[in-house]
């Protein structure tokens, strides 16, 4: 190769020295020779570049396996028991009437909020009102007679029988009035609790029968969840425990407190019932919604946790790949680490042995690397 460079150099000097003294044919011949030397040099350079690429892998990023990594940060790991349940409310009242009568007025609409004691439906009370008017007249007369008999009796005038008869007549009418007032009050169907009118079963002009459901009132401010837990978890859930309630229908997760734990096991499904209370001030949770309840049965502080999908298994046990920098070559390589694992939940698993918080775990591309293989970490 050195001879080729020398010939090229001599040719150039010769041309500069000969100038116009050479013939045209000689100059063309010399040019052709020099071009041939240049082509040969280019071919040799290309061969050298190819040889360098095969030997020096650090200069060819395409031969490195591209991976992403995650840092290990010790954190609190929680493991949960999961079970299905359903929401309900005790403040769900079907309002009825104790007496029958013609419906004279419906003062509420479905979906309307009502306060406790508010009149919802009015029944015909004309007969009782008429009776009340007659009683008022009779009471007024009986009181006048009783007052006179009492004054005479106090003066030792008249018989005791006449005095007692007047007193009894007056008091009997007072009792009848009280009884009529009770009957009159029952013609007005009032709200026993505050809440929303969920359903109205009577219409204006219809006859309401005693015990017939007139309307339904629901108050969802405080909801409860009923959950059936397998009997193997007896003793692991206690009153006052905080649990998580996931409501898939509204894509919401709320906290709840266990208010009661069943004392018997169902003979059919081998489960015991747990009831939890939920604060529902925004009224977004409705009765009979399906829920997923999560009971925390394990907490590990400062746990080394990795995504469970990065876990691989061999005859020697579980392993993962870490990314480490070679201290001599400064190259990044994949290193196979044998590990031991513990509990897992939600796609995460606790590593109990084999890793420390300074390790960097290979994430994307972990199935394409081998122990000791050169890798390149993507940003």
Which CATH number is 369's domain given? 2.40.420.20
Rounded CA separation 74/305 (Å):
7
Query: Which domain-ending residue is among 237, 265, 296?
Result: 296
- Could you tell me the sign of the dihedral formed by the alpha carbons of 162, 164, 170, 176, in that order? negative
Tell me 374's DSSP state: B
170 and 254 in a single domain? The answer is: no
Rounded CA separation 279/277 (Å):
7
**Segments in the chain forming alpha helices (H):** 2-18, 24-55, 126-154, 160-185
Stretches in the chain below the pLDDT threshold 50: 1-10, 14-15, 19-20, 59-60
- Which residue range(s) make up the domain with 11? 2-55
pLDDT for 6 equals 47
Residue-wise pLDDT for 85-121, tens only, equals 999 987 889 999 888 889 999 999 999 999 999 999 9
199 and 284 in a single domain? The answer is: no
211 and 224 in a single domain? The answer is: no
CATH number at residue 242: 2.40.30.170
334 and 288 in a single domain? The answer is: no
Residue 61: C-alpha distances to residues 68, 79, 230, 377 (Å): 15, 42, 56, 11
Cross-strand pairs, 184: none
365 and 337 in a single domain? The answer is: yes
248 and 312 in a single domain? The answer is: no
68 and 49 in a single domain? The answer is: no
DSSP element (H, E) containing 318: strand 317-325
Query: Which domain-ending residue is among 278, 296, 314?
Result: 296
Q: HSE on the CB side for 40, CA within 13 Å? A: 13
46 and 156 in a single domain? The answer is: no
Among the listed residues 265, 221, 219, 258, the one whose alpha carbon sits nearest the alpha carbon of residue 85: 258
pLDDT for 91 equals 87
Rounded CA separation 94/3 (Å):
110
Query: Which domain-ending residue is among 296, 324, 341?
Result: 296
289 and 320 in a single domain? The answer is: no
Residue 320: C-alpha distances to residues 55, 160, 161, 326, 335 (Å): 30, 108, 108, 18, 8
Rounded CA separation 191/118 (Å):
5
Tell me 21's DSSP state: G
pLDDT for 56 equals 61
pLDDT for 349 equals 92
Number of domains in the chain: 4
Rounded CA separation 52/60 (Å):
10
CATH number at residue 181: 2.40.50.100
233 and 209 in a single domain? The answer is: no
Residue 343: C-alpha distances to residues 70, 308, 318 (Å): 20, 10, 14
191 and 171 in a single domain? The answer is: yes
102 and 205 in a single domain? The answer is: yes
């Amino acid at each position: 190769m050195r001879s080729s460079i020398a010939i090229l150099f001599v040719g150039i000097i010769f041309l500069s020295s000969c100038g116009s003294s050479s013939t045209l044919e000689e100059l063309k011949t010399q040019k052709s020779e020099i071009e041939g030397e240049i082509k040969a040099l280019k071919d040799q350079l290309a061969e050298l570049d190819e040889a360098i690429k095969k030997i020096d892998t650090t200069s060819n990023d395409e031969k490195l396996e591209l991976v992403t990594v995650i840092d290990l940060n010790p954190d609190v790991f929680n493991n949960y028991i999961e079970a299905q349940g359903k929401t309900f409310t005790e403040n769900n009242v079907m309002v009825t009437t104790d007496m029958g009568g013609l419906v004279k007025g419906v003062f509420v609409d479905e979906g309307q909020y009502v306060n406790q004691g508010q009149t919802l439906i009015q029944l015909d009370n004309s007969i009782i009102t008429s009776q009340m008017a007659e009683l008022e007249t009779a009471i007024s007369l009986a009181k006048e007679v009783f007052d006179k008999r009492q004054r005479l009796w106090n003066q030792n005038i008249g018989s005791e029988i006449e005095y007692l008869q007047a007193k009894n007549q007056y008091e009997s009418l007072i009792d009848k009035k009280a009884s009529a007032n009770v009957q009159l009050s029952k013609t007005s169907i009032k709200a026993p609790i505050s809440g929303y009118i969920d359903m109205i079963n009577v219409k204006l002009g219809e006859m309401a029968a005693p015990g017939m459901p007139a309307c339904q009132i629901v108050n969802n401010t405080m909801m409860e969840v009923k959950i059936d837990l397998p009997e193997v978890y007896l003793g692991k859930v206690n009153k006052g425990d905080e649990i998580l309630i996931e409501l898939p229908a509204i894509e919401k997760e709320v906290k709840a407190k266990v208010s009661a734990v069943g004392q018997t096991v169902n003979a059919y499904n081998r489960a015991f019932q747990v009831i939890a209370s939920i604060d529902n001030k925004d009224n977004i949770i409705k009765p009979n919604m399906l829920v997923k309840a999560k009971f925390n049965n394990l907490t590990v502080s400062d746990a080394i946790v990795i995504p469970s999908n990065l876990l691989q298994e061999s005859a020697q046990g579980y392993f993962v790949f870490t990314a480490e920098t070679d201290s001599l070559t400064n190259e990044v390589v994949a290193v196979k680490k044998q590990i031991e694992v513990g509990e897992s939940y939600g796609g995460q698993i606790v590593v109990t042995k084999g890793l420390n918080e300074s390790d960097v775990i290979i994430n994307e591309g972990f199935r394409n690397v081998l122990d000791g293989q050169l890798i390149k970490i993507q940003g």
